[in-house]
Amino acid sequence: MAEKVRGYMLVIGGAEDKNGESEVLIKAAELAGGKDARLVIITTATEHPRTTGEEYRKSFEKLGIRDIKLLNIRTRKEANQEKHVKVIEDSTAIFFTGGDQLRITSILGGTLVYEAIQKAYSNGTPIIGTSAGASVMSSNMIIEGNDNDPARKCTLKMAPGMGLLEEAIIDQHFHQRGRIGRLLCGVAENPNVLGIGIDEDTAILVYPDAHFEVVGSNTVSVIDGRTITMSNVSELQPDEILALSNVTLHVLPQGYGFDMKKRKVIGFGKKVAEKLDGEKGEELN
């Protein structure tokens, strides 16, 4: 896992606080470089790019960032324009808004902008994404599944993501929309990957050494399928209730984190470290 995480990511579960304590967006602003940041906001996922983009512009301006550019890329032709590539190359952080994650991959995938994002990330530019912009960061992303429903076989639809975070599946709005069933299905289908469910107004700050810290007001759920001893996921009868035995579940609020390489919970005390120094907390299991 460590060699498959190349830089910093802030993966947000959606509906982050923009008017109160704004812990998640404050962390995003710090990660971007604070007052010296050159932040690019990509609104490809949303059907309302102007409204969404301006909302985030105002939020980050309140946090002290002045150099903010909006990339409202709507077509693959636009995603191959050099002027957009230049904006990506000059940025200190890239932010993906919410919307439909399949719009991000289908419009940007294989284009010059996509290549520029991958190169920027490999060179250390932080990538930040909320809601759909969070789901798209993994190699395989959930695009459809049942909310508030027991885990059922063959009800989960997935597609390739951007591949910034490998060996993981990200789900967002997690507890608020009752998505544990669909994430369990994803892990049951491929127990080697970690299922990471991120609540609203909550994020994981992923470090280059493949550990993350929880930031925000709610929790992050980590489902580890390597311990599974029995599953009926490969049997026939679609829509049958999923059976699983001995799956490992961690539920982590702020002050905790996770080493994705060792698959161990980490404790950071009462609050997540404010500085991005890459130091780990104490392993707890």
Cα 191 from chain centre = 19
Whole-angstrom distance, CA of residue 138 vs CA of residue 156: 16
Of 16, 23, 166, 200, the catalytic one is 200
From 159, 175, 220, select the one nearest 194 (Cα to Cα).
220
Of 22, 91, 131, 221, the catalytic one is 131
Cα 28 from chain centre = 13
Give CB contacts under 8 A, 24+ apart, made by 273-279.
273/213, 274/30, 276/8, 276/30, 276/31, 276/205, 276/207, 278/207, 278/208, 278/209
Whole-angstrom distance, CA of residue 141 vs CA of residue 123: 24
Q: How far is CA 79 from CA 61, 89, 139, 276, in A?
A: 26, 14, 20, 31
Whole-angstrom distance, CA of residue 99 vs CA of residue 43: 8
Of 173, 189, 211, 250, the catalytic one is 173
Contacts of 28 (CB under 8 A, 6+ apart): 10, 12, 60, 93, 95, 128, 203
Note if 138 is an active site residue.
Answer: no
Q: Which amino acid would we find at residue 113?
A: V
Task: Give me the phi and psi of 272, to 5 degrees please.
Answer: -65, 140
Note if 173 is an active site residue.
Answer: yes
Note if 175 is an active site residue.
Answer: no
Could you give the residue numbers annotated as active site? 131, 173, 200
